[in-house]
Amino acid sequence: MVNVIFCGFGEGMDKRVIAKQGDLLLRVAVNNGVLIPTECKDGMCGSCAVRIEEIGYVPSASTHASAVDPDGWDKDKYTTYMEEKELSTLVEMGAISKLEAESAQQYAQQTPVRLACQCIIKGPLLVKPFE
Ligand code: FES
C-alpha cells in the first residue's frame, strides 16, 4: 500500500489516499472522488494528463547526485515502463519533449507528466493537475 496525494484539484478533492501498488491512477482518483477529466480512457486524447512527483524515497546517504549516473538515470527512482502510445500522446500535446520520452523508455522511468488512464502506481505519488 502506498500514499497518493492529490493536490490542486479543487475543494474537497485535495486529499491523501492509500492505494495498492499496481492500481491505475485514474481508478484511484475516481474511487476517491477526485475529478480528472477523461475522454478516451485509452491513452490517446491526453485529457487526463496530470503532473506527478514520486515521493517518499530517500536519496543515497552520501549525496543525491551519487545516485544519478552521467546519463541522468536516477537509480533511486522506481522502474516504470511507459507504453509508446502514452509517450507519443504526451509528446504530441507538448507535455513532454521527444528527448524526455526517449529517456523514459531508455531508463524505464516515468515522465513528470503522465496520463492518469495509463499510469500504474508503483510507489508513493504527489499528483497535480496538468495545466
Ligand atoms: S482519457 Fe484519453 S488519454 Fe486518458
What is the CA(9)–ligand 1 centre distance, in A? 17
Judge contact between 130 and 49, C-beta under 8 A: yes
Q: Give the residue extent of every domain in the chain.
A: 2-129
Q: Check pocket membership of 47 for ligand 1, CB cut-off 6 A.
A: yes
Q: Check pocket membership of 86 for ligand 1, CB cut-off 6 A.
A: no
* Rounded distance between C-alpha atoms, residue 43 and residue 39, angstroms: 9
Residue corresponding to grid cell 481508478 = 27
- pTM score, whole prediction: 0.85
Q: Check pocket membership of 103 for ligand 1, CB cut-off 6 A.
A: no
CATH number of 2-129: 3.10.20.30
Please list the pLDDT of the chain residue by residue as tens digits (131 residues): 999 999 999 999 999 999 999 999 999 999 999 999 999 999 999 999 999 998 875 554 544 454 555 555 565 566 778 999 999 999 999 999 999 999 999 988 899 999 999 999 989 999 999 98
